[in-house]
Structure 1
Amino acid sequence: MNVLFISNHDKIPEEEVGFNHPLYQIDEFLKLGYNVTYIVPSFNHFNKTQRIYNENIYSINEKFKVVLIKSISYSGNISVKRFLSHFLFSVSVLKYVVKLKKIDIIFLALPSPFLDIVCVFLKKIFKAELYVDFRDLWPELFEVYLTGVLKIISWPFIKLLYLNRYITFKNASVITAVSNTYLKIAQRSNPNALSDVVYLGYDENLNHDKICQNNILGTLNIIYAGSLSHNYDVECLLSVIKIIDENYSEYDILFHVAGNGFYSENIQKHAVIHNKKLKFYGKLERESLNDLYSKCSVSLCIYDSKTLISFPAKIFELMFKKLPIINSLKGEVGELIENKRIGLNYSAGDIDSLLNQILIFYKNRNLLVEYKNNMNECKDYYSKENQYSKFSLLIKSKIK
């Protein structure tokens, strides 16, 4: 069986930055004895650089090869140049694939504007099966963040993205999604496809985890590590830190923030003003970040109220490090945290709500111990081994 695995934004073997999700999926195909051709752009979406190799096609082993399609660079995640890059990549993929002799399965990572319709076309040409992995809400994203005249002008294009996604789901025989929320959207378009949720999961061995140690006595060390871009509830967090420094200075609470992005400069200023309550590290290497995690007691998942993120990979990392979570996400994550008692939820943008949850943990350290222990059950379910065995079973079910 020959599998064409296509993505316009994923990492490739040997790259450190990016999710391992596609490589784990490819590995399941390889375990079944399939031949996999992995097609990606020459441009690396994660670090915004061109991949430089002597050849655009190279073999990882006899059953797995990578094809780099020349593509143009872009800097903005929401930009005209990014869409141009995706469009040209889709055209180049079409030109490359039509020359191939035999394809049994086309595996497509969504969202992939333009490429989705190309894959539907290729499915019909090769009489292949189309498998889709649904990872993000792109048309919805533009509806939320575009405003004014730009939103009006973009309306026909947004509707085209919706239509293309619907057609792609309709033509898929297997659909996976990285959250149950996303899976339900896909199933509305094609309830007859074989489908299941395959969460991004977490590879504990790969990240050499250290479990947090400071659970009961002493300083309550609270960590936020991740992006500091617009769609995070950073302003609310900084307001809470200011209040704790000014009104609860006797409380032994220390915030640790690691990452980079739009709010970096503002956080740095607050770290100077409120130096007894906030430490800012910038972006840390994995080993240093793991060491910092191991010294903390509580973690933060702070998205703003507009976010469309359903189940971020960060949640799995925090569960595996057994760091009780203070979370702003509603839906699946909010329900998981409440039902499994692994943290506390607050309302995004609500300063009092976030402050109250932090003070609950500060005043009740035994609650931290309970929530930390409750994470053991979640760890097993969201492990890499469990999630990708589900993916393998789905493939085998299709063969039957």
Structure 2
Amino acid sequence: MRIWILNVGEEIPTDPGSPRLLRAAILARELTRRGHQVTWWNSSVNHQQKIQRVARTTSLGVTDGLETVLLWGRLYGSNRSLARIASNFESAAAFLMESRHREVPDIILAGYPTIELAAAALLYSRRHSVPFVVDFRDMWPDIIKDELKGFRRIAAAPLLLLWRMMKKWIVSRSTAVVGVTQGFVDWALGTTGVSAKDVTRVFHLAVDPCQPAPERIEEAESYWTSLGIIDDGSTVILTYAGAFSERYDLDTLVRAACELPKEYKRRLKIVLCGRGDMSVPLRHLAAGQPHIILPGWRSASEIRVLLGRSHIGLLPYRSTKDYVCHFPNKVGEYLSAQLPILTGLTGQTRQLLEERGIGYFYDECSVQAAKQALIAVVDGREALLGMRGKALEAYAELFDPKRIYPEYCRFIERLADPNVA
């Protein structure tokens, strides 16, 4: 089969720094392993590193049955900016232009967001009578509306209305609606007035544990050792690796760590890897605190080695409507490394961690509660080690890509050809 996957928010294998491959990349790889011809439509902009990959819409060619096409969109510096919105519309327009010269696929799978590219893909699918699957991974535009206040919300009203109309059209006209949790599927249907779809499915976010080459492992080991990140039995190492976004409650954890008694500062290290809008404020907060380390954006190999040296994963997500009914990528990533999780997030993630006995919790935005949670983690170092097996069991049951993506592939195959067994 010829299968198109549209997702512009992920890194691709050729990006610099041993990128971590996520949902679209893993699914594309699994589909090609099953003998399909896959085209992955991504953006010219590397969303994570904020760099421009190519100067125009470009095909990177076919490797092992997978073609990657980079759709041009302007570079943007902030995830919440007019430049990013313009870039999304430009990539959608580039898809409509480039797709005219392509052989019609057997099925199209569009990640949501971006709304613009999903809508463009649906338009193409209806013109050519191609089955269309929309995969909901974020709650746009609702989360954008919730963040806007006063005049900004008034000014954005026309765009928000357009997005809501596009979302309703996408949901109502799609062949199938997929979500990363049942909450996402319910939201997609409920917020568009679509009471039901004949075909809906849930496939949790699942990420391959990085398997670095031996030379990468050696380099990463040396790097973390040089920063004093060593599991020597005297300290507890807490790790976060991801975006430094205002959507995350990172400042609460940093403030709490700064207020710890000296004896606890000596007994833990907090490693925050990443970059984003909060990079400068976080560095100011952590200045003069040697137990808080901010090494910037790190490669997948470095992150994997770091997780192997860590005792707990930090999930400082705010309890917004999208995260409350979500298992973010980090949940599976931490559990695959046998790490329990410290978080202020409520909803499905907290319920899972509580049920499995693999979590530490604090009240979001409460520095005092976060400080007590950090103290409990340090005092419970032996208990952390005892949670490792339970963390791995939860990963295998709920977030193992070796189970989830073959099921996803079979779902796509049956939609494209009902005669597939």
Give the structure-1-normalised TM-score.
Answer: 0.87
Q: Which residue of 2 aligns with 1:106?
A: 108
Distance 1:258 1:19 in 2: 17
Equivalent in 164, 167, 184 of residue 166 of structure 2: 164
Specify whether residues 368 and 180 from structure 1 end up closer, same or farther in structure 2 by C-alpha distance, changes over 3 A only.
Answer: same
Q: Aligned letter for 2:10?
A: D
Correspondence 1:1-400 to 2 at 5 A: 1-15=1-15, 16-17=18-19, 19-52=21-54, 56-61=58-63, 63-188=65-190, 189=194, 191-206=196-211, 218-245=234-261, 252-275=267-290, 277-306=291-320, 308-309=322-323, 310-381=326-397, 382-398=399-415, 399-400=417-418
Question: Against the structure 1 CA distance between its residues 11 and 255, is the aligned structure 2 distance closer, same or farther, given a 3 Å change threshold?
Answer: closer
For residues 96-146 of structure 1, the C-alpha deviation after alignment (integer angstroms, 9 at most, x for no partner) is 323445332122111123333322222221111001111111211211211
Query: Is the Cα–Cα contact under 8 Å of residues 106 and 131 in structure 1 kept in the other structure?
Result: yes
Question: What letter is aligned with 1:199?
Answer: H
Partner SS, residue 319 of structure 1:
helix
Identity among equivalent pairs (%) = 20
Q: What is the SS of the residue equivalent to 2:246? A: coil
Structure-2 change in CA distance of 1:292 and 1:230 (3 Å): same
SS at match of 2:259: helix
Aligned residues of 1:327 and 1:345 also touching (Cα < 8 A): yes
- How many residue pairs are counted as aligned between the two chains? 396
Unaligned runs of 5+ in 1: none
Tell me whether 56-65 or 116-125 shows the greater mean CA deviation: 56-65
Q: CA deviation at 1:168?
A: 0.8
Deviations 1:351-379 (Å, cap 9, x if unpaired)? 22222222223333443233222112112
SS in 2 for 1:138: coil
C-alpha separation between the residues in 2 aligned to 1:322 and 1:140? 34
CA distance 1:279–1:387, change in 2 (3 Å): same
Is contact 1:43–1:71 with CA below 8 Å preserved after alignment? yes
Whole-angstrom CA distance in 2 between matches of 1:81 and 1:270: 29
Once residues 213 and 142 of structure 1 are traced to their aligned partners in structure 2, the CA distance between those partners, rounded to angstroms, is 40
SS at match of 2:211: helix
CA contact (8 A) 1:270 1:278 kept: no
TM-score for the superposition, normalised by structure 2: 0.83
After superposition, give the CA deviation of every residue in 1:62-81 in whole Å (9 maximum; x if it has no partner).
74323333332222212222
Structure 2: runs of 5 or more not aligned:
222-228
